[in-house]
Chain A
Amino acid sequence: QKEVEQDPGPLSVPEGAIVSLNCTYSNSAFQYFMWYRQYSRKGPELLMYTYSSGNKEDGRFTAQVDKSSKYISLFIRDSQPSDSATYLCAMSSYNTDKLIFGTGTRLQVFP
């Protein structure tokens, strides 16, 4: 079993839809939770970072962490075609910088 599980998709939604992306994990030592966006043939770029449990909002993006369920989510409101990319969840624990990534969910937003 992988430490981090993520549905690979693809997920196809119309412009303006609310998108929900999720990851589950097994390592209870994880304390830092990140969402990266990766456009085709580019490097990952950080979208959101959350420490421990809770919610964090940044514009159209909301990240949620539920440590009791070992479940994290990223919500995208009013999705745009420019949001079409692969979204990777990543996690790390306090005593290491090693990021453990999910396999990524490919999202396509069509006009």
Chain B
Amino acid sequence: DSGVTQTPKHLITATGQRVTLRCSPRSGDLSVYWYQQSLDQGLQFLIQYYNGEERAKGNILERFSAQQFPDLHSELNLSSLELGDSALYFCASSVGVAGGYNEQFFGPGTRLTVL
């Protein structure tokens, strides 16, 4: 158990809908990361927050957004869902930010299925 929690475990929804994925980092970690894992693209970085502020952005679609709240939990919002958004979404957390190595601890993931 990494100490990172994600809810829900599974989500099934229809095209065009909006969903929210939630992540609670390990106690004491200030950075939260979101990754998408699909069969054809592998594990891809979406976005990073550090202590409430956006820190880095990957190839995150405009239909996707995220935020980190004062209690450090984070939410990833996916809207206007398409079939291709079906994937595993992982949250990870680390203590700090770049300027050295920051080990990232991954949560168990949320499996999103868009029908």
Residues of A within 8 A of B (CB): 32, 36, 41-46, 49, 51, 88, 90, 92, 94-104
User: Is B94 an interface position by the 8 A CB rule?
Assistant: yes
The residue on B at minimum CB distance from A96 is B98
Q: State the main secondary structure of chain A at its contact with B.
A: loop
Residues in B neighbouring A88, C-beta threshold 8 A? 42-43
Residues in A neighbouring B56, C-beta threshold 8 A? 96-98
Q: From known contacts A49-B101, A94-B98, A97-B33, infer whether A44 and B106 are also in contact, taking CB-CB under 8 Å.
A: yes
Residues in B neighbouring A92, C-beta threshold 8 A? 98
How many A-B pairs have beta carbons closer than 8 Å: the answer is 62
**How far does the alpha carbon of A97 sit from the alpha carbon of B96 in the complex, in Å?**
9
Tell me which of A43, A96, A97, A101 contacts B108 (CB under 8 A): A43
* B90-A46 in contact (CB<8A): no
Residues in A neighbouring B98, C-beta threshold 8 A? 92, 94-97
* B58-A43 in contact (CB<8A): no
User: Is B97 an interface position by the 8 A CB rule?
Assistant: yes
User: Is B25 an interface position by the 8 A CB rule?
Assistant: no
* A104-B42 in contact (CB<8A): yes
Tell me which of A44, A46, A100 contacts B45 (CB under 8 A): A100
* B103-A99 in contact (CB<8A): no
User: Is B15 an interface position by the 8 A CB rule?
Assistant: no
* B99-A94 in contact (CB<8A): yes
Residues in B neighbouring A102, C-beta threshold 8 A? 42
| Smallest CB separation, B90 vs chain A (Å) | 6
The residue on B at minimum CB distance from A6 is B42
